[in-house]
Amino acid sequence: MHSRYQAIAMISNAYRDPASLPIPLRFLAGGGEATRLIIERDWSGHPLGPPEAWPDILKSNLSTVLNSPESMILAWGEELSFFFNDAYAPLLGPRLAWSMGAPFCEVWADAWEQAKPIIEDAFMGRSRRFTNLPWKLDTDRGRSETWFSFSYSRVLDAAGDVAGLFILTTETTEQVLAERDRQEAEQRLRESEGHFRLMADAVPQIVWLTGPDGEAEFFNKQWFDYTGARYEPTTAAKVTASFVHPDDGEATMTAFGEARRTGTTFQIEHRIQARDGSYRWFLVRAEPYRDPRTRDIVRWFGASVDIHDRRLAETAQRESEARLRELAGSLEQQVIERTAERDRMWETSPDLLLVIGFDGIFRRVSPAWTEVLGYQLDELTGHHVNEFVVQADHDDTVEAYELAAQGGLPRIVNRYRHKDGSTRWISWTAAPAGDLTYATGRDVTVEREQAEALEQAEEQLRQAQKMEAVGQLTGGLAHDFNNLLTGMMGNLELLQLRVARGRLDELDRLINAAQGAGRRAAALTQRLLAFSRRQTLDPKPTDVNRLITGLEDMLRRTVGATTEIEVVGAAGLWTVNIDAGQLENALLNLCINGRDAMPDGGKLTIETANKSIDNRVSHDHDLEPGQYITLCVTDTGTGMSAETIRRAFEPFYTTKPIGQGTGLGLSMIYGFTRQSGGQVRIYSELGQGTTVCIYLPRHHGDAEATPEHSRAGTSENGKGQTILVVDDETTIRHLIDEVLDELGYTVIGAADGVAGLKVLQSGAKIELLITDVGLPNGMNGRQVADAARSLRPGLKVLFITGFAENAAVGNGHFEPGMELLTKPFSLDALTTKVANMLKESGK
């Protein structure tokens, strides 16, 4: 088909004359470019076949489309073959070259989903017209967002069947966008006017608009606030003029008329009447706004600014300037008189007056120098200051006059030598002026001597108080220990006497009595160590709420049925790193004290909480800022006086009757808490009960499981294991040796760390090292343990100590396989600890 018409002219205008076409194709005449595309297409294999064979109904309808000046489409046959005229061609973009005769769904593949239901409606006879319908297209032809106005109608053949679809279409994208731009512009204009009104109402001045003839069009709310008159367009000009002061009205109208005539800025000052009838001065200014095209003035934008106070101030200033001129003559005389007064002050002041250069050289001194330091004025002027200052104060003196040279205001107290050889303390204040420093010095020797005497007296008082406290401590300690020693020694002497006489009855009673006194002595020692913060602690991450729950039954039994206990545990309580056993003892002591303060019964409340301590609170509580938990015990008892609270933590101080308290309970709690990084506070009033709160620092981590309280039991016999014992106390070393030997252990003893390491280096099999913490000859117990583990990794170590050398034992932070036993200890505690440690190593 293409070859048959190859010779036809390619100029589209040639196809507008029917004579230019072969007779079978003259129905295509008038199509121009569209006709060319039909002729040049290869129709072989196309469902419609060659154009000359097309049915007459297609030819006639296609001729109508091709010759129409309107944008038209003809979709024909089952394939909806796509035909268009020259008016429609610009809408196709890059599709133009191939779309003639192609299926509709391929030509507008990107819009097919939108077109398909419309086409189906047209085929059903529901022809529709659309105006400015938004149409989504691919961007190969320009805009992806387009709008079209079109109508779809079907074409029926002679049998009444649908032969094709006739579409009249026009792209209205530019019109739609232009209308949108117009609406947006109008909206922006409305918004701009709204913004202008809001802005005008927001400014503190009166803002107004007039037309080109000066007729008022707008006043902001400041006009109404000031005058009380509402803006009405019909009366605006008349109302506005009526508020201008009668004396200023004519000048105002003349000036505004001249500005409108010349097109220049209008500006005048006049008075406007306020709603209370008074007048205030305003600066009135307006600028013309011109049409950008015609340059004609279309509006005047004006503002009226209240300058009443400024006018009054200017008037007052002019009056003040006149008065100042009147006073100027007298001021000169006053200056002369004050200069004479200053000279008299220089001559008569009892303070040292000085003018000194930035090089430390005296330029001028007052007569007081002779009175205070004994030097004549000519002995000072021209000399360096440090010629008269005590040697130890030279550096401070130089720093002072160098600071003045930099513009600073030095203050210094230094010592000067009197001409008679004595020393005087001088307190200086100074200020630079130009290249000199002016200074005033006051003799403060007497005040310094009095302050030193007061400080010595205070130090003597503190020493006396310290000796009184030591005397109270040692007195109480001697009293309690003498009682305990009497019990131990007396029972041991009775025991020795009865054994010597062969009386073996009641020996257990005497032994138990002596051991009981020894245990009480040990407890007293631990309380003293706790008070002095030197006890050995074994801190572990602890859940205090869980600890209280585990003690609750024992606490209820201890305080008795007449005392009610309520526990209020805070939800989400933080973890603390403390010695749980010591905290249990502290809580038990507080509950017993609370019970004793309620002889007729009452209520104890145990409460926990999270607390954040800031800088202000930390100063009041003597704590570092940070996060803490509190454990508080509150009773409903007799309360405490201020004096009792002040002395409550002193060792051996007690308000209980003789024999009912040691006076170490609260001091032990205080020492343990401070050693743990916390604090204890007492809140009480007489007759109002008492609250004691323990503050403990937060530990960031999970709490360890609370161990069950162990019960004393018989230790297992040894199985031939070898134990190395290092202790410089022979009695203790032999005691451990004897008790462990009876249980079947092999014991090797060493008097110090060096001897113990030699045993470890010998190759002897050692399963357990028992070492005292405090050892002589340069190595403590922790150093011995570390050296032993370097020789024998994983060796079990049991530390024993009677004194808290926390640095030596790592502040209670032991490696796995290390444990601690505090002196004095029972033999059963020793053998149980040894058996448990060796049993674990044997697993």
Q: How far, in Å, CA of 169 to CA of 567, rounded?
A: 87
pLDDT at 784 over 50: yes
Tens digit of pLDDT for each residue in 634-657?
Answer: 999 888 888 888 877 776 556 655
Radius of gyration of the chain (CA): 55
Tokens for 702, please give them. Answer: 């999970």
The Cα angle at residue 387 between residues 382 and 391, in degrees rounded to 5: 155
Surface-to-core class of residue 382, CB atoms within 10 Å of its CB (0-12 exposed, 13-18 middle, 19+ buried): exposed
User: Mean pLDDT over residues 140-150, rounded?
Assistant: 68
Give the model's pLDDT for residue 606: 93
Q: How far, in Å, CA of 71 to CA of 150, rounded?
A: 9
pLDDT at 592 over 50: yes
| Pairing of β 722-726 and β 768-772 | parallel
Q: Establish how many alpha carbons lie within 13 A of residue 641's alpha carbon, considering only the half-sphere containing its beta carbon.
A: 5
The Cα angle at residue 563 between residues 562 and 564, in degrees rounded to 5: 120
Surface-to-core class of residue 426, CB atoms within 10 Å of its CB (0-12 exposed, 13-18 middle, 19+ buried): buried
Give the model's pLDDT for residue 6: 38
With beta carbons less than 8 A apart as the criterion, state whether 126 and 172 touch: no
| Residue 175 CB partners (closer than 8 Å, separation 6+) | 132, 147
Mean pLDDT in the chain?
80
Beta partners for residue 339, in sequence order: none
702 backbone dihedrals φ, ψ, rounded to 5° = -80, 150
Tokens for 586, please give them. Answer: 């502290």
Put the strands of the sheet holding 216-219 in their side by side order: 216-219, 206-210, 297-306, 279-290, 266-273
With beta carbons less than 8 A apart as the criterion, state whether 726 and 750 touch: yes
User: Mean pLDDT over residues 28-43, rounded?
Assistant: 88
pLDDT tier, 631 (very low <50, low <70, confident <90, very high otherwise): very high
Q: How far, in Å, CA of 37 to CA of 28, rounded?
A: 11
Alpha helices in 532-579 (DSSP H): 544-559
Tokens for 216, please give them. Answer: 């008022």
- Give the DSSP H/E element, type plus range, for residue 681: strand 679-684
Beta partners for residue 696, in sequence order: 629
Percentage of the chain exceeding pLDDT 70:
79
Put the strands of the sheet holding 818-822 in their side by side order: 746-750, 722-726, 768-772, 796-801, 818-822
pLDDT at 403 over 70: yes
| Residue 838 CB partners (closer than 8 Å, separation 6+) | 718, 721, 767, 768, 796
Tens digit of pLDDT for each residue in 381-390?
Answer: 999 989 999 9
With beta carbons less than 8 A apart as the criterion, state whether 733 and 725 touch: yes
Give the model's pLDDT for residue 726: 92
In angstroms, the Cα distances linking 423 to 356, 377, 395, 398, 439 are 21, 19, 18, 19, 20
Q: How far, in Å, CA of 410 to CA of 426, rounded?
A: 14
pLDDT at 161 over 50: yes
Could you say which DSSP state residue 716 is in? P
pLDDT at 574 over 90: yes
pLDDT at 804 over 70: no
| Pairing of β 540-542 and β 362-365 | unpaired
Tens digit of pLDDT for each residue in 349-389?
Answer: 888 888 998 899 999 998 989 888 999 989 999 999 899 99
Tens digit of pLDDT for each residue in 233-281?
Answer: 554 455 567 788 989 888 988 988 898 899 889 999 999 988 888 999 9
Q: How far, in Å, CA of 561 to CA of 422, rounded?
A: 78
Surface-to-core class of residue 403, CB atoms within 10 Å of its CB (0-12 exposed, 13-18 middle, 19+ buried): middle
* SS3 of residue 437 by DSSP: strand
Q: How far, in Å, CA of 409 to CA of 401, rounded?
A: 9
Could you say which DSSP state residue 26 is in? G
pLDDT at 86 over 80: yes
pLDDT tier, 527 (very low <50, low <70, confident <90, very high otherwise): low
Q: How far, in Å, CA of 200 to CA of 196, rounded?
A: 6
Tokens for 782, please give them. Answer: 């922790």
With beta carbons less than 8 A apart as the criterion, state whether 263 and 289 touch: no
Ramachandran region, residue 233 (left: φ > 0; alpha: ψ -120 to 50; beta: rest): alpha
Give the model's pLDDT for residue 282: 92
Give the model's pLDDT for residue 230: 72
Tokens for 624, please give them. Answer: 């570092």
Residues in the chain: 843
In angstroms, the Cα distances linking 407 to 196, 413, 434, 622, 728 are 53, 19, 10, 41, 68
Give the model's pLDDT for residue 808: 47
Percentage of the chain exceeding pLDDT 90:
16
Pick the residue with more confidence: 3 or 155? 155
Alpha helices in 167-245 (DSSP H): 173-202, 221-227, 236-243
Give the model's pLDDT for residue 469: 52
Surface-to-core class of residue 397, CB atoms within 10 Å of its CB (0-12 exposed, 13-18 middle, 19+ buried): buried
pLDDT at 540 over 50: yes
Amino acid 671 reads G
User: Mean pLDDT over residues 487-499, rounded?
Assistant: 71
